[in-house]
Amino acid sequence: MTNSIGHIIGGKVVKEDGKSFEIFNPSSGKCIALATNASKKIIDETIDNSVEAFNERASILFEYKVLLENNIENLAQIISKDLGKVHEDAVGEIRRGIENVEYACGIGEILKGEFNKNISTSIDSWSEFSPLGVVLGITPFNFPAMVPLWMFPLAIAAGNSFILKPSEKDPLASMFIVELFNQTKAPKGLLNLLNGDKDVVNNLIQDKRIKAVSFVGSTPVAQKIYENSSISGKRCQALGGAKNHALVLPDANIDYATDQLISAAFGSSGQRCMALSVAVVFKDIKEKFNKSLKEKVSKLKFGHEDLNLNSFGPLVSKEHLESVKKNISLAEEEGSLILLDGRDNIKRKNSENGYFIGPTLIDKVKSSMKSYENEIFGPVLQIIEVNSMDEALKIINKNKFGNGCCIFTSSGEKARKFSQNVNIGMVGVNIPLPVPSSFHSFGGWKDSLFGDLNMYGPDGLRFFTQRKTVTQKWPEESSESKGINLSMPNNLN
Ligand code: NAD
């Protein structure tokens, strides 16, 4: 019988009847668990029982970091089974997640506030950052451990309690990291997890007791979540989709550039919001570039139910597989040239029930094509030819997404020109996946982020806290009152 998974509320697994959905292993296509949509009653009780701010936050996070470190192997196995990530990639995701726990461990340092002595006679002023209360995180399928870890360690360190609503496609890894958190001495009810789909999200967002919503997912949903959160009076940071370009200049080391580009385009089967999905290549080097690319990509391994035999795994679901295939067909219909076809390759592999597709290279792409505008989110690299940096910048800057991009060059001057003129939030110079470390903050521009503050790091701390500014005067005992003064206080009166 298939395991039914429930929610995690007050440190306990709570199961209920209601609308249920199946969770699949994408490598085998087999159902591995059943989950249920959190009912309004359960949502209500969870918010009611969310624990208020508490002390000993840093020591709990240190304890949590050790628990995560000790469970990397177990967690990686869950991610592989539920999402289909190959082992090393799953481990990489967990390590990047743990970085955010480490940042939150320094809460004493990062929450020091701002202080000014003597802003006027005998007056000192400071800003301190107070928690918001109950905050919500809604996360996508593609990083079921890392993205929740972008959010809740810092939110909790800042004094909030947190409700996580993971993706309904693969909630098992998110459940595991919440269970690990509940093994620390943290009060139960500080971190709760509710399973479900958009109905659960909408019920949560409408609740006035939730003060902030941190969202990561696709652009149309991010925009809706941002609008609905604002209507219900809460702050929101909503990170959306992407189409990330890599510009390859004629002075680049082609061998290095193709290695890096392939890693960033096909790692995680292209299911990363920072995946490089478009190579923008100068005409003079394109033949050499395409030759190197095709030779190397043809050697990637995929399509085996035993993930250890693959360079990258399957897509998350049957529906997503169909959507990726549809976009490749669309590119073909629009006049692009399929250099390497993942749809063909798959016919030769023994993977009938898994959601696998082979690596796909598409040349002769134009920025006016619909298949270029879509976020394909699969192991598909599109190639656009240009004649100048200005032409490349025009294409990239016109794209509706603004998450990440990168340039491959050996010229500091050209790298500088590119990074200064590109309207993208995260830029790499000879770095294909410029995901900021936990000491910075993560976020794109344009349709890749709705809201004012980026995810994690210093912006994350600001997002999960509210500023209180105290202005304090201790007049000297000998000083006499200057009497009533109805003019606006300033430093001369
Ligand atoms: P998704 O938008 O379908 O789902 C994300 C979350 O929103 C899930 O928890 C889901 O249950 C919920 N949801 C889905 N539809 C909803 C609706 N109509 N109303 C309310 N809630 C809804 O995204 P996904 O398919 O899980 O993830 C892939 C997408 O996430 C890609 O577009 C990818 O680029 C993006 N992503 C962005 C970042 C980033 O940092 N910018 C990081 C990871 C993934």
54 — pLDDT class (breaks 50, 70, 90)? low
Contact (Cβ atoms closer than 8 angstroms) between residue 127 and residue 138: no
| DSSP 8-state symbol, 455 | B
The domain limits of the chain are 3-240+448-469, 244-429
Which two three-digit tokens encode residue 235? Answer: 């702050």
Residues facing 78 on adjacent strands: none
* Check whether domain 244-429 has CATH 3.40.309.10, yes or no: yes
pLDDT at 481: 84
Q: Cα(22)–Cα(44) distance, rounded to whole angstroms?
A: 24
Mean pLDDT computed over every residue of the chain: 95
Residue 53 has a pLDDT of: 64
Percentage of the chain beyond pLDDT 70 is 98
Cβ–ligand 1 distance for 229 under 6 Å, the answer no
Contacts of 360 (CB under 8 A, 6+ apart): 328, 338, 340, 341, 342, 343, 378, 379, 380, 381
425 lines ligand 1 (CB under 6 A): no
Say whether pLDDT at 3 is over 90: no
Return the residue whose CA atom lies nearest to atom 20 of ligand 1: 198
Q: Do domains 3-240+448-469 and 244-429 have the same CATH topology?
A: no
CB of residue 217 inside a 6 A radius of ligand 1: yes
Q: What is the mean pLDDT of residues 33-50?
A: 95
Q: Is the CB of 374 under 6 A from ligand 1?
A: no
Average of per-residue pLDDT across 316-327:
97
Quote the CA–CA distance of 136 and 127 in Å, as a whole number. Answer: 25
Distance of alpha carbon 405 from alpha carbon 264, whole angstroms? 11
pLDDT of residue 347: 66
Mapped onto helix, strand or coil, the DSSP state of residue 134 is: strand
**E strand map for 223-363:** 235-239, 244-248, 276-282, 337-340, 360-363
For residue 289, pLDDT beyond 80: yes
Higher pLDDT, 119 or 347: 119
pLDDT value of position 477: 80
The pLDDT tens digits for 272-282 are: 999 999 999 99
Contact 278, 365 (CB under 8 A): yes
Q: Name residues whose C-beta falls within 8 Å of residue 420's C-beta, 6 or more positions apart in sequence.
A: none
pLDDT in tens, 207-229: 999 999 999 999 999 999 999 99
Distance CA 418, CA 448 (A): 20
* Residue range 3-240+448-469, CATH number: 3.40.605.10
**Percent of the chain with pLDDT strictly greater than 90:** 90
Across the range 218-242, mean pLDDT stands at 97
Predicted TM-score (pTM) above 0.95: yes
Q: Which is the closest atom of ligand 1 to the Cα of 141?
A: 26
Quick one: pLDDT at residue 349? 64
Please report which confidence band the pLDDT of residue 196 belongs to, taking 50, 70 and 90 as the band edges: very high
- List residues bridging with 402 in a β-sheet: 445
Q: Per this entry, what is the length of the chain?
A: 493
Which atom of ligand 1 is nearest the CA belonging to 442? Answer: 40
Choose the catalytic residue: 236, 273, 405, 406. Answer: 273
* Residue 113 pLDDT > 70: yes
350 band by pLDDT with thresholds 50, 70 and 90: low
Active site residue 405: no
Provide CB contacts within 8 A for 455, sequence distance 6+.
150, 151, 214, 216, 237, 239, 441, 442, 443, 463
What are the two backbone dihedrals, phi and then psi, of residue 315, each rounded to the nearest 5 degrees? -80, 165
One-letter identity of residue 34? L
Separation of alpha carbons 80 and 86, rounded Å: 6
pLDDT tens-digit map of 132-174 = 999 999 999 999 999 999 999 999 999 999 999 999 999 999 9
- pLDDT reading at 80 higher than 80: yes
Please, which pLDDT band fits residue 56 given cuts at 50, 70 and 90?
A: confident
Mean pLDDT, residues 452-461: 98
Residue 416 confidence (pLDDT) above 70: yes
Going from the Cα of 361 to the center of ligand 1, the distance in angstroms, rounded, reads 25
